[in-house]
Structure 1
Amino acid sequence: MLDNDLPEMNVVRFVRDMHKNPNNKYVPIVINRSKKLSPEIQSEMDELSKTAVIKEVKTHVQIMDETTLFLHRKAENLPSGSREALEKVHKSDEMIEYKNVLVVDDDIRNIFALTTILERHHMKVIPAENGQDAISILEQNPNIEIVLMDIMMPVMDGYETTRAIRQIPEFKELPIIALTAKAMKGDRELCLEAGASDYITKPVNSAHLLAMMRTWLDK
């Protein structure tokens, strides 16, 4: 378990030095993303992730979740506070029900599929079929609490739309989860650089998406 902002060396060098000992090659590494990495370091991290067991986390609950998994600890054996926090992220609708979510996608079929999932968990879905509509809707509905942003859209793509949203002061901290059908090298880095809070690839795993949304909406 390490932070990505180490004072003496960058996180990539730490992992590479750690792997010089063959016994450490398959030791899982959980990295707390407390600092935005430079594009060069992030690119190196993406390469390392292909050959090492690395998970990046952003919250205390995610740290607990990943370390529990890697240590093969059963959730029911954790202290009650930790156990309840993990159960909330994976099972409870307490953090997401009745929350307003803006779903931005140029394909109405994708909007319908996501709406079906989210409404099943009592979320209120507001659809937008392009980036310009998304910005207008946000300005008219400041009570929107999270955005699901498709990246591959014509005219104004998800990167451009996310950058435009971040230029509006009241939406600087609004959780924006980027959705893309492409899992190309550098996609994640581009999403985060544009201002996205998190990233998930299509086809969307509904349990993974809901857990991610619970984490970002856990106030």
Structure 2
Amino acid sequence: MMFLISQEIGQKMSLGDKVSSSKGTEKPFTALIVDDDFLIRKMHESILKSVGITTQIAHNGNEAVDIFRSGANFDIVLMDMEMPIMNGIEATKELRAMGVVCKIVGVTSCENTAEKEAFKQAGLDILHEKPLTLAKVNSILEQPQN
């Protein structure tokens, strides 16, 4: 099975391929997984790694914001909604306020429609129910960024 990623410049590439930068170096497709649940983090990490995506982990929204403040960049962020210290809504708002433009995917088990809508309005590109599956990841990666 081949996964395709639409990049900002309209090109397509297979997951696991490398992206050439202007300096001629290669950069793997990267994802930040932000979730306080160990099992969900490991499940999502395993799925992403199985299709060649390099991952980094944050245990809450505050850690995610700090990672971006340190200069890190990602192609996609998987953001849980309900976490201690800083939840996904607050973290997404903060990341967008910082100018982060990568695709942010909300991932939640919350059933409250108003809370899910608030999460979307915080700056998500997509919202999915937990847990993600390989099919959901494929769907996420095929959707253009807002």
Q: 2:2 aligns with which of 79, 92, 99?
A: 92
Relative contact order higher in (CA < 8 Å, ≥ 6 apart): 2
Give 1:36-75 correspondences, 5 Å limit: none
- Find out whether 1:122 has 2:48 as its counterpart: no
Contact (CA 8 Å) 2:107, 2:128: kept in 1 or not? yes
Looking at secondary structure, tell me which structure has more strand per residue. 2
Looking at secondary structure, tell me which structure has more helix per residue. 1
Separation (CA, whole Å) in 1 of partners of 2:73 and 2:103: 12
> Partner letter of residue 109 of structure 1?
L
Which structure would you say has the larger Rg? 1
Residue 163 of structure 1 corresponds to: 93
Q: Percent identity?
A: 26
Residue 140 of structure 1 corresponds to: 70
Separation (CA, whole Å) in 2 of partners of 1:193 and 1:143: 22
Q: Which runs of 5+ in 1 are unaligned?
A: 1-90
Q: Scaled by the length of structure 2, what TM-score is found?
A: 0.77
Separation (CA, whole Å) in 1 of partners of 2:103 and 2:49: 19
Contact (CA 8 Å) 1:200, 1:209: kept in 2 or not? no
Shift of 1:94: 4.0
Residue 84 of structure 1 corresponds to: none
Residue 87 of structure 1 corresponds to: none
Shift of 1:206: 2.7
- Find out whether 1:186 has 2:96 as its counterpart: no
Q: Scaled by the length of structure 1, what TM-score is found?
A: 0.53
Separation (CA, whole Å) in 1 of partners of 2:76 and 2:61: 15
Separation (CA, whole Å) in 1 of partners of 2:144 and 2:43: 21
Contact (CA 8 Å) 1:162, 1:195: kept in 2 or not? yes
**What SS does structure 1 have at the residue aligned with 2:83?**
coil
Residue 40 of structure 2 corresponds to: 110
Number of equivalences? 125
Shift of 1:141: 4.2
